[in-house]
Structure 1
Amino acid sequence: MNILQNIFADHYEEMLYILHPRQSVIENVDKMISCGDPSYGGALFGCPVCGNLKYVASRCHSRFCPTCGNSYSMIRATTMSFKIIACQHRHLVFTIAEELRPFFLKNRSLLNCLFAAVRSVILRMFQKFSKSDPVTPGFICVLHTFGRDLKWNPHIHCLLSEGGISEHLFWRSVSHFHYKYLRDSFQTVLLSLLHKTLGNSFKKTKASVYSQHKNGFYVYAKPNKCNPSSVIKYIGRYLGRPVIATSRIDDYDDDFVTFHYNRHEDNLLVIETLPVLDFISRLIQHIPEKHFKMIRYYGIYARHRPSDSKIRRAISRDKHKILLSFHKWRTSILSSFGYDPPKCSCGATMLFLELYHKHKRVPLDELYKKVMARSRACRSPSHI
């Protein structure tokens, strides 16, 4: 078990009876704690040459798990890289006022308003470039609810094409973005959506936010030369990554957890120590509701109706030459850590022998007997 699994396993009951977590939190924590437990199933491999055996436990496939979350990010980044068209892209970040954060924490359905506001602002901005022949860009939005200090800070990372397809199926490049328009319009659209959703009870907060943020909400949209050759790096960095990597957890003594991060403002190293339940509370607040989409595609990257197929045919795609399929466990480990899991110490490639179902617990003594039986079978000349 890694250090994060130990923290949650040691304080699981306290988390349930003191923090009263949501059902989606309980499900993800349960998966994360049992991730890599051999008694929950896995696969047995054997070497046909020397008879060595290797048992690989099943993983939990939860984005909250630091191991499986990284694998999820890699798979999604690879999948999305095939959607990216061959043009210049820009990385944008849409942030909100600190006064609004508690509303999104209390009512998580409001997070949909963040996506809707970003979509509306970008499409309107591109329509303003040419009213006679509107341009439709391609952009991918990823929701992040945490900052480097693990506190609640919902914001949107957006990967946007610097250009789009016109109604006459011509590609038009767009490299100049109006920063003030992005800030003001994002603030206006988001506050209007929140007012419409929450009703007049939000009216006072809305007026207060307008008076305190007269220049709009901060939107990072500076040119960053995010071309197709580097777009995978951008996607992999901001796409569905786990809340915290185990390498950032420095110490755990059953009562307190010490972790570090580099402050965003000046990149200064900050070391923070929290009571274990406060640390757990910071992490679990970022677990999304079940089936909530953290990644959304818009414009020419969105799924289209059959009538829109002419637009899809008009787009020339740059099929990145990715030699490894990240959807496969073997190549995923090989690309991440530089070693081939089924490779035996003798140099031969191990063969798959048996699969243990992940929903059926396998007693360890029974597993040991099967392993010994398989070992004798591997060593027999008839098996080789």
Structure 2
Amino acid sequence: MNILQEIFTDHYEEIKYTLHPRPAEMENIDKMINCGDPSYGGAMYGCIHCGNLKFVPFRCHSRFCPTCGNKYSMDRTTSMSFKLVNVRHRHCVFTIDASLRDFFLQDRSLLNCLFHSVSSVVLRLFSKMNKHKNFTPGFIMVLHTFGRDLKWNPHIHCLISEGGYSDDAFWRNVSHFNYTFLRNAFRTALLKEMLLRIGPSFKKVSARCYLEHEHGFYVYAKPNRCDPKTVTKYIGRYLGRPVIATSRVDSYTGDLVSFHYNRHEDDQYVQETIPVMDFIKRLIRHIPEKHFKMIRYGGLYARHRSIDKKLHLAISKEKRHTFRCFNRWRTAILSSFGYDPLICPHCKQQMVILEIYHNHRRVPLEELYEKAMSRSRGKRSSA
């Protein structure tokens, strides 16, 4: 068990009957707690040269799990890397006023408004930059609902190509983004969309936001522009990663949890100690509803037209070999930790899969090893 599994296991009944979690929260908690439990199935590997056995349990594949969430982030980074065209990209962060955050917490369907607003603003930005041709950029939006202190803070990370592709197959590079327009347009688009969804009761909040944010909501952009390979690795840290890494949890006493982070404003190291149920509430509120898409593609990257394929063939050749098979468990371990998990530690030969056990057949580990040993002996004799 890692420390998060220990915390949630110890307080499972209290979570279930006092916090009244959403079905999506409870489902991900159950998955995370049982992640890596051999009784839920796995694969038995064996070395046909020396008979060494290795049992690899199945994982939960939940983004809430610190192990599987990182794996999910790797997979999404791989998928994104093959989608990006080989041009510079700008990383922008669209933030909202603190008074609006609770609206998204109480009604999670409003999170769609964030995506719609960012998408419309980016497309309008490029539309204003060209009057004669319809240049369309490629952009990817990633929703984050948490800050470094784990509090509820929904915002959008957006990766935008520094250029657009016209309908007559012409690419135009763009090096200057109008951030004044982005700030004002994003504020207006989001408040209008929320007013339509919430109704007249939102008018006072909307008017106050216009008064307090005369120059629009804050839109942050990385000053350095990077090539697709570099920027994909950078934004990969935001793609479906777990709310908190186990390395950031410093201690757990049963009643209190201590964790640390570097404050975003000044990068100062901060350690916080809070009651364990408050810690759990901060974590589970960031679990999205089932089937809710936290990563969305817009503009050029959302289109699937034959004319766009020519663009990818023309300016995407270099990045096609950036990542290979990164979504496989074995390759992911090799890339992350520098060792091959299926190389026998005794004779340095490659291990082979002997048998797969599923969760509907609960088999004691002793029986698994006995069956695997018999199959390993058979393979060695046939070899």
User: Could you tell me the TM-score, scaled by structure 1's length?
Assistant: 0.96
Aligned match of 2:357? 356
Q: Quick one: which amino acid aligns to residue 23 of structure 1?
A: P
Partner Cα separation in structure 1 for residue 232 and residue 256 of structure 2 = 37
- AA in 1 matched with 2:7: I
Instruction: Measure, in 2, the Cα distance between the counterparts of 1:269 and 1:284.
Output: 24
- Output the amino acid matched with 2:215: N
- Paired with 1:278 and 1:124, the residues of 2 have a C-alpha distance of 42
| Structure 2 segments unaligned to the other structure (5+ residues) | none
Q: Does structure 2 conserve the Cα–Cα contact (< 8 Å) formed by 1:259 and 1:271?
A: yes
Given that residues 78 and 323 in structure 2 are in contact (C-alpha distance below 8 angstroms), is that contact kept between their aligned partners in structure 1? no
Q: Provide the secondary structure at the position in 1 that maps to 2:381.
A: coil
Q: 1:250/1:136 Cα in 2 relative to 1: closer, same or farther (>3 Å)? A: same
How many aligned positions are there?
Answer: 378
Contact 2:182 2:219 in 1 (8 A): yes
Contact persistence 2:66–2:242 (CA under 8 A): yes
In 2, the alpha carbon distance for the partners of 1:248 and 1:171 equals 44
- 2:371 maps to 373
The letter of the residue matching 1:181 is F
For the residues of structure 1 that align with 2:291 and 2:253, how far apart are their CA atoms?
35
Q: How far 1:323 sits from its partner (Å)?
A: 5.6
**Pairing 1:310–2:307 present:** yes
1:275, distance to aligned residue in structure 2 (A)? 0.5
Q: What are the equivalent positions in structure 2 for 1:1-384 lying under 5 Å apart?
A: 1-304=1-304, 308-315=305-312, 316=314, 317-318=316-317, 319-322=319-322, 324-345=324-345, 346-358=347-359, 360-364=360-364, 367-379=365-377, 381-384=380-383
Tell me, in whole angstroms, the C-alpha distance in 1 between the residues paired with 2:174 and 2:24.
41
1:278 maps to a residue whose letter is: D
- Secondary structure of the residue aligned to 1:154 is strand
Contact 1:81 1:231 in 2 (8 A): no
Where structure 1 has 5 or more consecutive residues not aligned to the other structure, the ranges are none
Residues 14 and 264 of structure 1: CA distance in aligned 2, closer, same or farther (over 3 Å): same
Change (3 A) 1:314 1:374: closer
Whether the 8 Å CA contact 1:136–1:164 is kept in 2: the answer is yes
Q: How far did 1:222 drift?
A: 4.6
Compared with structure 1, are the counterparts of its residues 49 and 81 closer, same or farther at alpha carbon in structure 2 (3 Å cutoff)?
same
Could you tell me which amino acid in structure 1 is paired with residue 78 of structure 2? Answer: T
Residue type matched to 1:355 in 2? I
Q: Aligned with 2:298: secondary structure?
A: strand
Determine the C-alpha separation between the residues in 2 that align with 1:361 and 1:260. 41
SS of 1:301's partner is helix
Change (3 A) 1:370 1:88: closer
Q: Report the RMSD for the aligned CA atoms in angstroms.
A: 1.3
Pairwise CA distance, 1:337: 1.2
Q: What SS does structure 1 have at the residue aligned with 2:137?
A: strand
Q: Distance in 2 between matches of 1:250 and 1:379?
A: 46
How far residue 50 of structure 1 moved from its aligned partner, in angstroms, is 0.9
CA offsets per residue over residues 122-157 of structure 1, 9 Å max, x none?
000100011221210000000000000000000000
Which letter maps to 2:311?
A: A
In structure 2, C-alpha distance between the alignment counterparts of 1:167 and 1:349, rounded to whole Å: 51
Cα deviation for residue 353 of structure 1 reads: 0.4
Q: Is the 8 A contact 1:50 1:379 kept in 2?
A: no
In structure 1, distance between residues paired with 2:339 and 2:256: 35
- Any idea what the Cα deviations from partners look like across 1:276-307, whole Å, max 9, x if unmatched? 10000000000000000000001110143xxx
The Cα offsets for residues 320-342 of structure 1, whole Å up to 9 and x where unpaired, read as 32363112111111111111111
**Structure 2 letter corresponding to 1:228:** P
Give the letter aligned to residue 358 of structure 2.
Answer: H
Post-superposition offset of 1:311: 2.8
Contact in 1 for aligned 2:141/2:156 (Cα 8 Å): yes
Rounded to whole Å, the distance in 2 between the matches of 1:323 and 1:157 is 22
Cα deviation code 1:68-95 (max 9, x no counterpart): 0000000110111011101111000000
Residues 322 and 175 of structure 1: CA distance in aligned 2, closer, same or farther (over 3 Å): closer
Q: How far does residue 12 in structure 1 lie from its aligned partner after superposition?
A: 0.7
Shift of 1:246: 0.2
Residues 37 and 58, structure 1, Cα contact 8 Å, conserved in 2: yes
How many angstroms apart in 2 are the aligned matches of 1:377 and 1:95? Answer: 57
Distance 1:58 1:135 in 2: 46
Q: What is the CA–CA distance in structure 1 between the aligned matches of 2:229 and 2:57, rounded to whole Å?
A: 35
Checking the alignment, whether the CA contact within 8 Å between 1:94 and 1:118 is kept in structure 2 is yes
Shift of 1:348: 1.1
Write the deviation string for residues 83-120 of structure 1: whole angstroms up to 9, x where unpaired.
11011110000000000000000000000000000000
